[in-house]
Structure 1
Amino acid sequence: MPVATLPPHRHAPSQPPTRPVGARRVVRRLLTLVAAVAVGAGLLVAPAHAAPSVDEIDAQIDKQWEQLEPTIEQYNKIRSQLKANQKKSDDIKKKMVPLELESALAMNRVGDIAARYYMQGPSQEIGALLVSTKPGTLGEQLVILDRLAQEQHKQIAGVLAVRDKYNRQKQKLDALIATQIKQRDELAAKKKQINAEIKRLTAMLPVTSIRPEGCPAIDGVVSSAARTAIKTACAQVGKWYEWGATGPNTFDCSGLTQYAYKAAGISLTHFTGAQWDEGRPVSRAEARPGDLVFFYSDLHHMGLYLGNGLMVHAPRTGKQIQVTKISYMPVAGFRRVT
C-alpha cells in the first residue's frame, strides 16, 4: 500500500524586522533636511534680477526721448504757426475797420436818398438840375444823373467787394487757427503722456547737478554775429533743459539757438524745421563755428556747432546744456544764418 506523501511545508512570508519608532523620526528629519538643502541650493543657483544701472536707465531715457522730441518740435512748429496766423488775423481786423466804416457811410447815403425820395419825391438838387437849364439839354441832364448814380453804385460795390475779400480771408484764418489750436492741444496731450514715462525713469536716477565742461576756444574765421551767438550759448552751459523754453533760465534745443542768435540781432523761429529753412546750406567740410547743426532725418534735434566735431546744445529732460561731440547722433546737415 503506497504511503501517502504530505505536501511540502510552506513557510509564512518573511516580514521585515520592525524598525523602532525613534529611528523613523530620525530618517524623516534627515529627508526634510536634505530637501531643504536642495531647495536652498536651487535658490542659490537661480539668476538674480539686479536693479538696472544708472547707465542702463540713462539709455532707456534716451530711447524714450527719441520718441518725445519730435513731438515737442512739432508742438513748437504748430505754436509758431499759430502765433503768426493770429497776427495776420489781427492785421486784417485793423484793415477792415476803415473799410467797414466807409461801406456803412456809403450805405447810409443810399438810404438817405431813398428815404427823401419816398417822403418828398425827387430831391431839390435833382429838381434844380432838371429845370435850371434849357429844354434841349434834358437828355444831357438825364445822362449826367445816370452817370452819377452809376458812379455811386460803383463806389459802394467796390467798398463792399474789398470788405467781403477781407472777410473771406479772416474766415479762412479763423478756421486755420481753430484747427491749429486743436492740433496743439492733441500734441500737448501726447507729449504729456510720453513725458510721464520720462519722469518715471528720471526719478530712478540719483539727483546730481554736475556742471558740464565749458566751450573750447574758437579758432578760424568767424563772423561777429556767430561769435556773439557762441558766447551767449556757452554762457548757458550747466542750465537745465526744459521743453518749450527759450531762456533765460531753461531751454530746449531750438530755444537755445534762437536765444543765442537773438543776442546777435538775428531772429530765428522757435522750431528746428523753420531754422533749417532760415539758414543756407553748408557742407560738413565747410562747416565752421556758429553754424547750426541738425540731427535725424526729421530734424527733431539741433545744436550750435563749435568746430572740431563739437557742439553746444540742450540735450533732453533731466540733462543740462552741455558741450558734446556731434557724432553721437546722426547728423542731417548744417545751416549758416550769418
Structure 2
Amino acid sequence: MANVPTQSRSPDRPPAPRVRPLRTHRRLLLIATAVCVGLAPGTVAHAAPTPQEIETQMDKQWEQLEPTIEEYNKVHSQLLVNRKKSDELKKKIQPLALQVDMALGRVGELASRYYRSGPSSTLNALLTSGDPMLLADQLTLLDRLAREEQQQITEVVAARDRFNAEKSKLDGLIAQQTKQDTELASKRKQIDGEIKRLEQLRQAAYGSSTAGGALRKGPCPATYIGGPAGTAVKTACAQIGKPYVWASNGPNSFDCSGLTQFAWGKAGVSLTHHTGKQWTEGKVISRAQARPGDLVFFYSDLHHMGMYVGNGLMVHAPRTGDFVKMSSIDVMPVVGFRRPG
C-alpha cells in the first residue's frame, strides 16, 4: 500500500481551533451555574406575612406606643389648665398691687401733710373753730381714717402676697410641665416614624382599605337613651369613619380619649384629654350596670378607652391607620366602666 504523504505545517501558522460540540458548552454552563449557586450565601424564602399576622404585630406595637401618647395628652392637658390658672392669678394680682400702691400713696399723703403742718395745725384748728369738742371729733375721725386705711393696706398686701405665692408655685409647676411637654413632644418624630412603618406594613396587606371589616356592626347606639348621655353617645356614633390621629380631639380626627372628650363635651360635660384622668372623672359603674354613653377602659395602665353604645359594643378610635368604629368591648381586656356627668 502506497504511503500517503502528510501535509507539512508551517511553524508560523497557529493550529486550527478545535470545534467543541454545542452540547459541551451547555454542559459547562450548567456546571458553572451550579458552582456559583453552591458558593452563594444560603437564602431561605419566607412567605409574606398574612393580614392577621400584620394586625397582631400592629396591635403589639400600638400597646407600646399608646401609653406614651396618653402621657403626652396628660401633661399637655395639665399644662394648658395651669397656664390658664396662672393667667387668672395674674389678673387678680394686678388690681391688688394697684390698690396697695394707691393706699400707700394716701397714707404717705397724710403723713406728709402732718409733717408739713406740724403740731401747730391742732392749735390753729382749735383757734379757728373755737370749739374743743369739734376739734376732738375731727382728730378722732382723722385717726379712725388712718387706722382704716392701714387696715385696708394690710388686707390688700396679704391678699396680694397670697396670690403671688400661689402664682410662684404655679409658675414652677408650669416650668416643669413645659419641660415634660417639650420632651414628650420631641418623641413625636419617633412615634410618627413608627406609625408610618406600621401603616406601610398594613398597606402591604390591605392597600387603602380599613382594618377589621365594616366600621359599623349595627345601629349606633345599639339601644336608645336620652339626656346628656344620649347626646354624647349619638355624637360619638356620628364620628364613625373619621381617622385616628394621636393627640387629636376633633372635629375631623381623634385619638381614643379625644373622642370621648369631644362627645361628652357636646353634652355639656367637660372631660380631660387623657384616659387616666377620665377614669377619675366619672361614677364607678359595673359591667352589668353599663348603658350607652358610659366610658369603658382597657388594660391595667388604662392606655385605651371607648364609649359604650349597648349590646356589648363600643365606639372607639382604635389606633393609627384605622378609623373611629364600632367594636365588641371584649376585643381587649376590660378594666372597668365610668359614667360622666
Work out whether the TM-score is over 0.5.
Answer: yes
CA contact (8 A) 2:293 2:308 kept: yes
- Between the aligned partners of 1:149 and 1:249, the Cα distance in structure 2 is 63
Structure 1's 296 and 122: CA in aligned 2 closer, same or farther, altered over 3 A?
farther
How far has the Cα of 1:254 moved from its partner?
Answer: 1.0
Residue range with higher mean Cα deviation, 285-294 or 48-57: 48-57
Q: Which amino acid aligns with 2:56?
A: A
Partners of 2:217 and 2:327 within 8 A in 1: no
Q: CA–CA distance in 1 between the matches of 2:94 and 2:120? A: 32
1:59 aligns with 2:56: yes
Paired with 1:244 and 1:35, the residues of 2 have a C-alpha distance of 60
- 1:60 Cα deviation (Å)? 2.8
CA 1:43–1:52: 2 relative to 1, 3 Å: farther
Q: Among residues 159, 166, 177, which one is paired with 1:162 in the alignment?
A: 159
Give the one of 216, 219, 235 matched to 2:218: 216
Of 106, 115, 135, the match for 2:112: 115
CA, structure 1 residues 88+81, in 2 after alignment: closer, same or farther (shift >3 Å)? same
Q: Distance in 2 between matches of 1:69 and 1:127?
A: 83
SS in 1 for 2:280: helix
- Residue in 2 aligned with 1:97? 94
Structure 1 contact 214–234 (Cα < 8 Å) conserved: no
TM-score scaled by structure 2?
0.78
CA contact (8 A) 2:223 2:311 kept: no
**Cα distance change on mapping 1:114 and 1:308 into 2, 3 Å:** same
Contact 1:96 1:163 in 2 (8 A): yes
Unaligned runs of 5+ in 1: 1-21
Does the aligned pair in 2 maintain the 1:293–1:302 contact within 8 Å? yes
The 10-residue stretch of structure 1 (141-150 or 319-328) with the greater mean CA deviation from structure 2: 141-150
Going from structure 1 to structure 2, the CA distance change for 1:30 and 1:107 (only over 3 Å counts) comes to: same
Distance 1:251 1:240 in 2: 7
Structure exhibiting the larger radius of gyration computed from Cα positions: 1
Alignment of 1:64-213 (within 5 A): 64-122=61-119, 124=121, 128=125, 134=132, 149-206=146-203, 207-210=207-210, 212-213=214-215
How far apart are residue 239 of structure 1 and its match?
A: 1.1
Deviation digits for residues 158-214 of structure 1, max 9, x if unmatched? 221111111111111111111111111111112431331221231243241448332
Identify the match of residue 229 of structure 2 among 226, 229, 253. Answer: 226
How many residue pairs get aligned? The number is 316
| Residue identity opposite 1:284 in structure 2 | R
Deviation track 1:107-139 (CA, whole Å, cap 9, x = no partner) reads 11122233334444358479626996659x98x
Which residue is 2:249 aligned to?
246
Q: Which residue of 1 aligns with 2:326?
A: 323
Distance 2:224 2:235 in 1: 18
Q: Residues 239 and 249 of structure 1 are in contact (CA less than 8 Å); yes or no, is this contact kept in structure 2?
A: yes
Q: Does structure 2 retain, via aligned residues, the 8 Å contact 1:215–1:234? A: no
CA contact (8 A) 2:245 2:320 kept: yes
Aligned-pair distance for 1:103? Answer: 0.9
CA contact (8 A) 1:130 1:141 kept: no
Query: Counterpart amino acid of 1:255?
Result: G
Instruction: Give the Cα separation in 2 of the matches to 1:209 and 1:113.
Output: 82
Q: CA RMSD in A?
A: 3.8
Q: Which deviates more from structure 2 when the two are superposed, residues 67-76 or residues 258-267?
A: 258-267
Percent identity between the two aligned chains: 55
Kindly indicate whether residue 289 of structure 2 is the aligned counterpart of residue 286 of structure 1: yes
CA distance in 2, matches of 1:126, 1:48: 115
Structure 2 residues not aligned, in runs of 5+: 1-17, 19-23
Report if the CA contact (8 A) 1:68-1:191 is conserved: no
Name the TM-score, length of structure 1 as normaliser.
0.78
Contact 1:68/1:195 (8 A) holds in 2: no
Q: Distance in 2 between matches of 1:75 and 1:126?
A: 74
8 A Cα contact 1:288 1:306, kept in partner: yes
Q: Secondary structure at the match of 1:324?
A: strand
* Among candidates 320, 334, 339, match of residue 336 of structure 1: 339
